[in-house]
A and B are shown apart, each in its own frame.
Chain A
Amino acid sequence: MTFLLIGAIVVPLISVPVVFLSSSLLKEKTGYVASALSLISLAALVATGASASSYLSGVYTESYSWSPIGTFGLRVDNLSLPILLTIALMVTLIAMFSVPYMRQRIGDDPRRYGLYYSLYMLYSLGMLGTVLATNLIEFYLFFEIMLVPSFFLIAEWGYGERDKISLAYFIWTHVGALVLLVGILVTGFLTGSTDMDSVVNNLATNPSLISSTVRLAVVGAMCFGLFVKIAQFGLHAWLPSAYAEAPTPISALLSSAMTGIGGYAIVRIVMTIYPSAFQTLSPIFAGWALVTMFYGSAMALVQDDVKRLLAYSSMSQMGYILFGLATFTSFGVSGSMFQYISNATAKGILFIVVGAIMLQFRGERSMSKMGGLAGKMPITATAAFIGSLALMGFPTTNGFFSEFLLFQGGFIRATSSFSDYRIIVAVLGVVATAFTAGYSLLALRKIFFGPSSADSAAVKEAPWAITVPLMVLAIVTIALGIYPTPVISRFVAFGQSIVGG
């Protein structure tokens, strides 16, 4: 019995007091400690991934008795491993980025640094736990743990009307989580277990445990709850302000790592337990996703506040994730999960870039006041380009393969189901990518090209704590864009196991 996975989540837990105490000594440099500690989680996950022998069937589970609820399990498999590595990587890099950024935001008070990084580590614990969980109740607990620290982080160090915004963020997602909980509880009550494996087994041996009508209702409830998290149109009201007004490292983490976990949960819970009910509802979800994709990009097109632009862009990207899942094909599911990774690296890059610019512009976020920065911050500009290309789904970035897979899934569903509706949805989905190219290129032009503005005379390249994370993410983006096989092989294998060939 090894303790790799429990280690991966105990390390962040232990680091909560560690960073808090070390902050009085290290002040803003506590961020490096947090980053190093997160690296341990990352290493534990890499080790687990390596030990899960062949990657087509590799499942590695650690379970601990957790009466009376069932077992407290942590699992790494083809679905969760790439997601977990992404989260751990983002947490590590963004902790590094927090150092110069929060120095400007917090100033001199060592206790405030302690609080920030403690909450930060707790937040990362929540995200990792959510993805690792094998029990529905366990999942819900981690899902809430993820929410609490992020709420405080926004409320304490956000911008603008941060108390209202953080509360709106909290309430929307919490209500979503409660609706999800209702679905979870009904499932647990009717199948007699909340361990996901036993739920699936019980339903397989005795399908009559839950009638198809109830299944539809449960899937509806769960999806409603999770759609709040992935900010589908109509349930997205919390997102733009939360992303725009959160401290930029937290925006980066919210957008890249946390939000997409909703998509992961749809695959892990809803599609695994109730595949046919999900399939029944999938045409509605596909249309919903499409609306979100278009709406998010249209909103991004008219923003001048660059963080708000990225916020709407994230909303639109979450639409892509749901779009892929709603195709109910192995291509679509793997594309969506890959999209989680591409969106994480791309949005990580872009929010860090915005943070780097804000640092030099004293918090200015209006693009019309920027311009001509390409020559002044070449590394940052290059990273921003790579991130934007990934966002556009451009070949040789990971964004291409993820969008390729999920749209290909759409067309496979369309041509195999002979449905005009599905064909129209698939075609419009691809059309939506034009908008992404539009707002990305427009933003790049406003920020990096053209004559330099008067405000930007003193702008210099960002410090290494910013450029290093940018370079790492840019390399990952391109490496996965040229050779995506390690990720695709895992996701396709998993996708086939839940939706068939």
Chain B
Amino acid sequence: MTYIPWLIWTLPLAGALLTPVFARIHSLLRDYAAVGFSLAAAAVATFTAFGVPRGDYEISWVPQLSLNAGVLVDPLSMFLVNIVAWISFLIMVYSLQYMKAEFGLTRYWFFMNLFIGNMLLLVLADNLLMMFFGWEGVGLCSYALIGHFYHDEPEHWVGTTGDAALGVPQAYSPSHAGMKAFVMTRIGDIALLIAIFLIFATAGTFNYSQLATQLGKTGSWASTLSGLGLLVPTALLFFGGPIGKSAQFPLQEWLPDAMAGPTSVSALIHAATMVKAGVFLVGRMGPIFFLALLQFNQVTPFFGTVAWIGAFTAFLAATQATVAREIKKVLAYSTVSQIGYMMMGLGVAGLSANFIAGYSAGLLQLMSHAIFKASLFLAAGWVIHATGTRFMDQMGGVAKAMRLTSIAMIFAGLSLMGIPPFSGFWTKDAILSATFESSQYILYAMGLGTVLLTAFYTTRMLGITFAGKASKHLEEPQKEGNHNSEAGLTMLIPYLALAVASLALGVLYPLYSGSLTNYLMGTFQSLPPILSGESVPGLSTTDIILLAASTSMAAIGLALGYVRYFRRAYEAPRQMKGLRGFLWYRWYIDAIYYRVFVGGLTWASRGLYRYIEQGIWDRLSPAVARDIIDYTSASGTLDSSVVDRGVNDVASAGSRLSNLLRRFQSGVTEQYVIVFAIGIVLLLVYMIFIIGAR
């Protein structure tokens, strides 16, 4: 009974380990068992949320470091775990049909379950070290799954072939994209690790609740770090991890290229696992850092950074989505942008008097986004599959053939735009009003502008893909009578259900939002009372004005997009110039990174190798070897020829060298014996000494 919460994350891991075993028996058993394990995890997660008392379910791990492994059952973890597990399950169901007949399926199911298990582990862990296991685990799985088609066939690439910015090719193969994701997130992880090391070095524990309770005492980790002037740097370095994992500026560049993986993987990365991990971690440690920083009046630098990075990333990625050509890339930019909103919400939480408002807004946005983004990706996966292209300009008019798919995408799209009454409307607005009420008006304006852009790019995507006439690419198969059709039920039901859920959760939002926020506040029960006991804000006049403002921005974006892409036939632009080119090449950030960091490091390493390693050490080694041979043979042998040789040497340096070289190659063993003898002689001398001394 006590260890039921452990099952939530161990079940998918067990499923992963059993996948190769089942694969030997039958491929169907392998596929259904994999889905079954993810369903079991989801079921246990829901049971735990309702049926298991809150608490820390610990076992001993490394007693010498007083390190325990534990599963923390509290409102935050339960909220996240249920979203992750259920959405993952739907994606797994979808995969049954979507991945049929693809290559490397045993590997696919193995890493999918491993991915889910690691995500659940990182959410459930009761301490930073165990969390880090899951954290790196999702990194590894994303690497493996993004690079699933590791033979790098051209149809699995992402980006337009031949496209280059500042001389850096902008098309990525799966294996390159996977590596890029791993390395870029790893950079963030290094910052995170440094912060974890600093916290442990001063606190002596990794456990979240112990870190929180220590804050009330004298000589806490926060005061030691503050004394070293390292408290704010530690918090900021800690935030580096979420920046990498959740693809925030300046480490956002891996995510758009991660689209090289199968679409079901993209759905998993964007909706359930991986990018949500960063938001969760800020949600987990944010309150603790808030309390720590509050003691030393240093709240603003940290939470301000979180909010500003979030707002900027939201805007940056939204601009890029307005010119993207691949449907999955639009969705990828959109994820980066939406996560930016969540970070903005969590950031302004610390900047306002009402911590819970921004905090819960950020987490609720995570929930709506998980649902509509999963739906969007899964539906897009089918569209890509049915049309045989990843480029939107090669689609067009597909709504006729697949009505339900287009309805699902439009529902989920409206939620993404923030159109009432979809759930995205409420949660995004909650973030914007929390920002406004914390008096961060510039951030608010950036958020509002992003709303317009979001509505525009979403409408653009829907318009180009579904409306109008079929493109040339689609005409030929259609002439041959090969019409696009609706997806099979195994694929259709997951994304349709998610789209309907977006609507339902939006319609019902006023009913459950208050109690859900109160539930989430329960996370702070064990913390000092600064955070808890704050009321959920009611609906004031200001709120209504803010609602109207954000809705009208969304409406403007929608209208612009509608006029431009639904009413007119779409023609892909020939050239990427000016502002369009700037956005198309992602503000040139990616290219600059490759130039400066990858290019710079390679250049520096090559230089070191050529001038230092080969220039000095590689030459030194034989030189030293020769000199020593010369010396030892000259002094160590009683061979009279040494003298002769010495005379010769003086007479002719050249013959000396060749002489040496010859001996070097032929008399290796002799030389060795001579050198070894020195050691023996020294030993003998020593023994005589000792005997003499006694």
Interface residues of A (CB under 8 A from B): 68-69, 137, 140, 144, 148, 151, 155, 163-164, 166-168, 170-172, 174-175, 177-178, 181, 185, 188-189, 192, 234, 236-238, 240-241, 295, 298-299, 301-302, 372, 374-375, 389, 394-396, 400, 404, 407-408, 410-412, 414-416, 418, 423, 426-427, 430-431, 433-434, 437-438, 441-442, 445, 448-452, 483-485, 488-489, 492-493
Contacts and interface: CB of A to CB of B under 8 A. Distances in A.
Contacts of A488: 62, 64-65
Given A164-B665, A411-B201, A177 B679 contact: yes
A492 B66 CA distance: 12
Contacts of B176: 445
Contacts of A442: 179
A395 B224 contact: no
| Majority DSSP secondary structure for residues of B touching A | helix
Contacts of A240: 613, 618
Contacts of B198: 411, 415
A302 B609 contact: yes
A185 B187 contact: no
B683 A137 contact: yes
Interface of B: 61-65, 104, 129, 132-133, 136-137, 140, 147, 150-152, 173, 175-176, 179, 182-183, 186-187, 190, 193-194, 197-198, 200-202, 224-225, 228, 230, 601-602, 604-606, 608-609, 613, 617-618, 620-622, 624-625, 628-629, 664-665, 668, 671-672, 675-676, 678-679, 682-683, 686-687, 689-691, 693-694
A485 B193 contact: no
Contacts of A151: 672
7 contacts: A167-B668, A178-B679, A301-B602, A302-B605, A430-B193, A431-B190, A449-B152
B625 A171 contact: yes
B179 A489 contact: no
B521 to A, nearest CB: 32
B190 to A, nearest CB: 6
B608 A295 contact: yes
Given A69-B687, A407-B197, A181 B679 contact: yes
Contact of A450 (B129, B152, B182): B152
Given A167-B625, A423-B228, 5 more contacts: A192-B693, A241-B621, A430-B190, A431-B190, A438-B601
A144 B677 CA distance: 11
Given A298-B605, A411-B197, A394 B687 contact: no
A427 B190 CA distance: 9
Contact of A168 (B147, B187, B625): B625
B197 A237 contact: no
Main secondary structure of the interface of A (DSSP, over half): helix
Nearest to A428: B194
Minimum-distance CB pairs A-B, first 10: A449-B175, A237-B621, A411-B201, A411-B197, A395-B133, A237-B617, A298-B605, A449-B150, A492-B64, A168-B621
Contacts of A414: 201
Contact of A298 (B132, B608, B622, B678): B608
A167 B147 contact: no
Contacts of B683: 137, 140, 181
B621 A148 contact: no
Contact of B675 (A69, A170, A192): A170
Contacts of B201: 408, 411-412, 414-416
B194 A430 contact: yes
Contacts of B104: 375
Nearest to B616: A237
B691 A167 contact: no
A79 B622 CA distance: 36
A146 to B, nearest CB: 13
A181 B682 contact: yes
Nearest to A235: B617
Contacts of B228: 415, 418, 423
Given A445-B179, A492-B65, A389 B140 contact: yes
A448 B608 contact: no
B133 A396 contact: yes
A489 B64 contact: yes
A427 B194 contact: yes
Contacts of A178: 678-679, 682
A240 B618 CA distance: 9
A69 B200 CA distance: 47
A151 B176 CA distance: 41
A164 B63 CA distance: 50
Q: Which of B132, B230, B624 is the most central at the interface, judged by chain A CB atoms within 10 Å of its CB?
A: B624
A172 B624 CA distance: 8
A70 B191 CA distance: 52
B152 A188 contact: no
Contacts of A423: 228, 230
A134 to B, nearest CB: 17
A298 B610 CA distance: 12
Contacts of A431: 190
A144 B679 contact: yes
B63 A489 contact: yes
Count chain A CB atoms within 10 A of each CB in B137, B151, B183, B625 and give the residue with the most. B625
A408 B104 CA distance: 39
Given A164-B622, A395-B133, A396-B133, A171 B605 contact: no
B686 A188 contact: yes
